Amino acid sequence: MEKVANCQSCFMPMDTNEKFGTNENGHACEDYCVYCFQSGAFTKEQNLEEAIIDNIPFWKGEGESDDVARERIMAVFPNLKRWNV
């Protein structure tokens, strides 16, 4: 089984070529997904808190509260390349 890369901004699994963002030269970016990084730049300039709020819907399980999703995100995002400053 091939190792799946995870976006270093939102942690989305990048398991197909289409999910990788692009560098300025159009080549695939190894670190960021297509939703976070295109043409060598982030698609949204935001801080960590804004990224957390934007990602809560994607991290929420059925019937879970926003707080549960936020806790799950906070266990991961601060360690990602984009947010680990």
Is 71 found in the same domain as 53? Answer: yes
Whole-angstrom distance, CA of residue 46 vs CA of residue 27: 24
Within the chain, strands assigned E span: 5-6, 13-14, 20-22, 28-33, 37-38, 41-42
Does residue 84 lie within any of the structural domains?
A: no
Does residue 52 lie within any of the structural domains?
A: yes
Domain count, the chain: 2
Is 38 found in the same domain as 20? Answer: yes
Whole-angstrom distance, CA of residue 65 vs CA of residue 60: 7
Query: Which pair of structure tokens corresponds to residue 18?
Result: 């289409």
pTM: 0.89
Does residue 85 lie within any of the structural domains?
A: no
Is 35 found in the same domain as 17? Answer: yes
Q: What is the pLDDT along the chain (85 residues), one digit of tens a residue?
A: 356 799 999 999 999 999 999 999 999 999 999 999 999 999 999 999 999 999 999 999 999 999 999 999 999 999 999 998 7
Is 52 found in the same domain as 38? Answer: no
Asked whether 20 and 14 are in contact (CB, 8 A), the reply is: yes
Does residue 65 lie within any of the structural domains?
A: yes
The residue range of the domain holding 55 is 48-79
